[in-house]
Amino acid sequence: MTITKELIDATTILTNGRFLTRTASTTSSFQDCMVIKGGIIQYIGSASTPTITTYKDAGVSTQDLQDRYVLPGFIDGHMHFLMLGQSLQKLSLDGCKDLNEIRSRIKEFGEENPEKSRLLCRGWMHSMTNGEAKANMLEGLDEKNRPIFIDSKDLHSCWCNQAALDEMGVKYLKDPEGGSISRDEQGNPSGLLSEAAQLVIVWPHIAKVATMSEKTSALKAAIKAYHEVGYTGLVDMAMDENAWEAILALRKEKGELRMRVAAHWVIMPSTGEEARLKQVERAIELNKEFNKQTSPDLRIVGIKVICDGVIDACTAALREPYSNNGVSTDPIWNAEMLGPVVKKAAGAGLQCALHAIGDNAVKIAIDAIEQHAAIGKRHRIEHLELTSPEDAKRLGKLGITASIQPVHSDPAILRAWPKLLGPDRLGRAFAYKEFADGGAAVAIGSDSPTAPHAPIKNLYVATTRRSAREPGAGDAPVNEHFKIGLCEAVMAATQGAAYSCFADERVGSLEIGKKADFVVVDMEYEPGDLLKAEVKQTWFEGKMIYESQIS
Ligand SMILES: [Zn+2]
């Protein structure tokens, strides 16, 4: 082998690591050395081979990874890119004890940020204000009387001042399906918007009114936060014109995002089939322009349909009524609405991602894919929180990816579930192991910003079913028998997520010829120890893009 100067400059040898090379569902294997050149993995194996010695003797730069684990860069299989960025820039009210403290913190934030056109906050808990959240409690703390929006810590409601209510025109809106707008005796909005009202009124509004520079800086914040926890890729699960425009603007500004992005275009239920199919046409058009060949790191891969709501708000569509109140909720999309949309999208080669949480919605979603889409095109179902044993098995048979967010199975947020579902159904919640055993491809995501985004904490919940949010609270695992193994979970968060969006030929595993996207982690490779794991470095296409400052 002739070693030229050019080769020496472009090559890096990483030694003394534990490089994850292969993983079956029960065992992982590791090698101690990897060579990368020009962003591509050239070699992975033992450090004591003649080739490595020749490289070293020729002066190729070497990095000692101090016996740390090296995993493929994580890919978040389901998240919301722009919303995450925006949530990271909000004022945190964590630790506030009462209304006075909340007011003074917001006042200070307003004074320190005169350029902001709105004051966005997060982390409020109902207990901080004795369960009260009135617009008038937020008056007189900002000279400019800017709109103030305060997300509750659980992200299920938003507390607004009058300027915010006015800006959104809440006075003229009805309560959306599955959501509520708190009102005073005269029927005027009083400040709090809950559940679907937050999702369909507040969040889209905030996303829309932000300026382009606010949006691109939010996206930058999201990318930075993702690098810090080891992500090199993501799948955005509700792309729209507003967010897409901002992402394109950021790519133009920076040249590259250093984050591999695949996105599903969200299809709103709208009124009428024509309006729904029109949205699918837009997704098809964008896929023609931004696909694997033309734009491999920023693609529109398919559509997203939100078939039902969530269990906590009793808006998920169940086969039997909720146990606590006897309520039956219809899916947002029934079979008649869903069929033509899936057919059109799948027929044009797009991937269909169907949000289905309740067991009725899951059945409708699987049926729609079975009847209207070809097997093997990597269609997917998002969440799958409550499934019948038959449907859990059908996923694998029909080649449907199980897109799961283990953070949602954290027992600390499921304390209301025994009442909502009753013991039998609770025993069917988050049946991850059944999906995997049935042969379904599994992709792990975080659903950030609705849940914490750190991937290794997510793996902790997947593999132990214990709480990563409140590890000391002593909640018993919910359905521990559905946990998956560590090797399986790591795969689902890397290769599985890559597979879910047809990125697995380029990324998702440490193999020769693949992009050198990887993460160096100080950890014990044991489920029970994952909360202590620390991401030390994140590499994207052969370049270190994040290094922890903690020694
Ligand atoms: Zn989501």
Question: Ligand 1: distance of its center to the CA of 303 in Å?
Answer: 13
Question: Ligand 1: distance of its center to the CA of 196 in Å?
Answer: 13
- Give the C-alpha separation, 200 to 349, whole Å: 29
Q: What is the Cα 71 distance to its own chain's centre?
A: 19
Listing from the earlier edge strand, what are the strands of the sheet with 148-152? 91-92, 119-124, 148-152, 157-160, 189-195, 179-183
Question: Ligand 1: distance of its center to the CA of 219 in Å?
Answer: 17
Helix, strand, or coil (residue 83):
helix
Q: Which residue has the tokens 């009114």?
A: 209
Each of the 551 residues of the chain gets a pLDDT tens digit; together they read: 677 888 888 899 999 999 999 766 678 899 999 999 999 999 999 999 998 998 899 899 999 999 999 999 999 999 999 989 998 999 999 889 999 999 999 999 999 999 999 999 998 988 899 989 999 999 999 999 999 999 988 777 899 999 999 999 999 999 986 678 999 999 999 999 987 788 789 988 988 899 999 999 999 999 999 999 999 999 999 999 999 999 999 999 999 999 999 999 999 887 789 999 999 999 999 999 999 999 999 999 999 999 998 898 788 999 999 999 999 999 999 999 999 999 999 999 999 999 999 999 999 999 999 999 998 899 999 999 999 999 999 999 999 999 999 999 999 989 999 999 999 999 999 999 999 999 999 999 999 988 899 999 999 999 999 999 999 999 999 999 999 999 999 999 999 999 999 999 999 999 999 999 999 999 999 999 999 999 999 999 999 999 998 76
- Give the C-alpha separation, 411 to 414, whole Å: 5
Question: Is residue 372 a contact partner of residue 342, using CB atoms and an 8 Å limit?
Answer: yes
Q: Which domains does the chain have, with CATH numbers?
A: 5-67 (2.30.40.10), 118-209 (3.10.310.70), 212-508 (3.20.20.140)
Question: Ligand 1: distance of its center to the CA of 80 in Å?
Answer: 6
Q: How many CB atoms lie within 10 A of CB 95?
A: 9
Question: Ligand 1: distance of its center to the CA of 312 in Å?
Answer: 15
Question: Is residue 427 a contact partner of residue 384, using CB atoms and an 8 Å limit?
Answer: no
pTM of the model: 0.92
Question: Ligand 1: distance of its center to the CA of 3 in Å?
Answer: 49
Question: Ligand 1: distance of its center to the CA of 334 in Å?
Answer: 20
Question: Ligand 1: distance of its center to the CA of 444 in Å?
Answer: 12
Question: Ligand 1: distance of its center to the CA of 43 in Å?
Answer: 37
* Residue 5 burial by Cβ neighbours in a 10 Å radius (0-12, 13-18, 19+): exposed
| Max intra-chain CA distance, the chain | 84
Question: Is residue 160 a contact partner of residue 149, using CB atoms and an 8 Å limit?
Answer: yes
- Give the C-alpha separation, 386 to 429, whole Å: 5
**Per-residue three-class SS string for 172-226:** HCCCCCCEEEEECCCCCEEEEEEEHHHHHHHHHHHHHHCCHHHHHHHHHHHHHHH
